[in-house]
């Protein structure tokens, strides 16, 4: 079942999501919800989807960066972004620890703000402690693009969207980004935009 993705401006995207207990996680309703979120994420398509994005203030997100999403990206860009395929999984009630020693900047988009992008600085490495889809404890140590996805989705669970973190002068339509900026380095973009 494909769910409706709510757009920026909906109050649910600006509130703190509530935690789920183990019985809720293991319930048929939440297990079905995880599968519906997976289908919705695939259909969008996206690499992550948080429950607030479908109108539910729950600390639940699904993530998958499929190998086919990487096929049309130049190897040097994949290397620069430290982007590799990530298998499907759910994160529930996550707490995140950022390694603040190294920040990286890349353009991000969001299924709740389609057609736009902006330059966002994020920690290169993170540790996430959470529950998995069955309610079991899980620890994820991630770096590069996967760390960025985790930070983006966990932000949604706390009422934050990427436009709150982006460099405002870099906000643009994807059409303009693809036409004028996508082949530039981040340093060149910042220089041209006088950041």
Question: How many percent of the chain have pLDDT more than 90?
Answer: 91
* The pLDDT of residue 182 is above 90: no
* Sequence spans of domains, the chain: 11-167
The span from the CA of 115 to the CA of 179, in Å, is 13
Of residues 76, 105, 153, 191, which has the active-site annotation? Answer: 153
The span from the CA of 64 to the CA of 29, in Å, is 21
pTM, 2 dp: 0.96
CATH of 11-167 given 3.90.1170.40, 3.30.70.141, 3.90.45.10, 3.30.470.20: 3.90.45.10
- Tell me whether residue 39 is one of the annotated catalytic residues: no
pLDDT of amino acid 143: 98
CA 54 to chain centre: 14
More confident call, 165 vs 74: 165
Q: What is the mean pLDDT of residues 8-35?
A: 98
The span from the CA of 127 to the CA of 146, in Å, is 11
Residue pair 90/61 in contact (Cβ under 8 Å)? The answer is: yes
**Cis-peptide into 45, omega within 30 deg:** yes
Residue pair 151/95 in contact (Cβ under 8 Å)? The answer is: no
């Amino acid at each position: 079942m494909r769910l409706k993705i709510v757009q920026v401006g909906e109050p649910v995207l600006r509130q703190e999501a509530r935690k789920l207990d183990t019985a809720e996680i293991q319930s048929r309703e939440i297990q079905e919800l995880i599968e519906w979120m997976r289908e919705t994420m695939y259909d969008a398509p996206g690499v992550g989807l948080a429950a607030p994005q479908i109108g539910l203030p729950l600390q639940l997100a699904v993530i998958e960066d499929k190998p086919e999403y990487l096929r049309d990206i130049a190897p040097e860009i994949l290397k620069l972004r430290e982007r590799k395929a990530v298998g499907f999984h759910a994160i529930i009630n996550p707490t995140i620890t950022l390694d603040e020693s190294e920040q990286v900047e890349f353009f991000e988009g969001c299924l709740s703000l389609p057609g736009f992008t902006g330059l966002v600085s994020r920690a290169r490495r993170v540790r996430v402690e959470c529950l998995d889809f069955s309610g079991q404890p899980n620890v994820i140590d991630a770096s590069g693009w996967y760390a960025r996805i985790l930070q983006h989705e966990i932000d949604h669970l706390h009422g934050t969207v990427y436009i709150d973190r982006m460099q405002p002068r870099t906000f643009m339509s994807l059409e303009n980004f693809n036409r004028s900026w996508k082949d530039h380095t981040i340093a060149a973009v910042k220089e041209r935009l006088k950041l």
